[in-house]
Each structure stands twice: as C-alpha cells, then as structure tokens.
Amino acid sequence: MNAPPEAGKSRLEGTHLLVRAGEYACALPLASVRRVVRALSVHPLPGAAAELEGLAEFGGEPLPVLNLGRLVRAPAGPNPTYPVTVVVWVGPTEAREMLGLACDSALEVVHVPAGSVVAGDGGFLLGEAPVGGEVVRVLNLEALGRTG
C-alpha cells in the first residue's frame, strides 16, 4: 500500500519551536532544542549583563540561562502563567554548548519556510517571518555561541 504523498511531507513540516518572550513570538530551530522544562531555579551572577539571568543546574551540569526577552529586546508582556526554560544547543556544531533560554511560554511547533524569513541582522536575529497571522522573530542559535 502506498502512503499518500502528503503523509511524508507533513512529517517534515515542523522546523521551529515557537516561544513567547515578552510581546514577541520567537521561532527557535527545532534541531537546536534539547528540552523544554518548567522554569529552572536560577542563581544570579553578580556583574552580569541583564541578558544573562544566571546559572542553573540541568542534567548534572551547570547551565547558563539567558533571558530571551532581553536578548531580542522584547517589550515586557503580561506576567507569564507558565514560564519555561528551553534548553538549547548554541554555537557551531563542532563546538556547541548548552544554554537555557528563559521564556514566558512554549507555544507550538511550526513550519517556517526558509524563503519566508526577511530583514534579519545576519546574526542571532535571522529575520522575521509570518506564522499563523503573526510576525515572529526567527533566531539563529548557532550565532549566539560564537565568540567575538
């Protein structure tokens, strides 16, 4: 029995995890997402920039946690009802590192066609794309781990 042509195609559609950070929706490459967990307990790091919330423990290792809303300069939204930490891989494949991204919520897995992304800065903010009637920030997590 042959599977309908659309069946295989639909399995490939999820490319990004959509999360809420303040008033912005951000799309994280699904391949870089390791896990979504209830907001981890974070210990502040004195002297750190506001983007770095602090350090947490995850899987028996110290985990730096960044505030995604501050990273993308999102205006503050309403108080999150179910804040999460998205554990992701950042940096180039050969030197990737694990980070936590503090978000207001994880929304859904979505398909973001590469051709739909426009107006990025070529770095961490890959660009913006329309998803489900909303413009979302599409992020390049590989760039986040680069030095310099």
Partner 1 sequence: MSVPHARGFLLLRRGGGLWGIANAAVDGLARHGVDYRITIGGNGGGDLVADEILGVVEDLRVWPLAPAVSRFWPEAAAGLALHGREPVVVVDPGRPPAALSAEGSEEGDRPDDEERE
Interface residues with partner 1 (CB under 8 A) are 43-49, 51-52, 54-57, 60-64, 66, 90-91, 97, 99, 144-147
The smaller minimum CB distance to partner 1, of residues 4 and 47, is found at: 47
Phi first, then psi, for residue 122 (nearest 5°) are 80, 0
> Least Å distance between CB 44 and partner 1?
6
**Cβ atoms of residues 109 and 29 within 8 Å:** no
**Cβ atoms of residues 53 and 42 within 8 Å:** yes
CA dist., res. 83 & res. 93, Å (int): 28
> Least Å distance between CB 80 and partner 1?
22
The smaller minimum CB distance to partner 1, of residues 59 and 78, is found at: 59
The smaller minimum CB distance to partner 1, of residues 2 and 93, is found at: 93
CA dist., res. 143 & res. 71, Å (int): 13
**Cβ atoms of residues 28 and 139 within 8 Å:** yes
The smaller minimum CB distance to partner 1, of residues 17 and 65, is found at: 65
The smaller minimum CB distance to partner 1, of residues 19 and 42, is found at: 42
CA dist., res. 67 & res. 148, Å (int): 20
CA dist., res. 20 & res. 148, Å (int): 28
> Least Å distance between CB 25 and partner 1?
22
Which residues are 70's β-sheet partners?
none
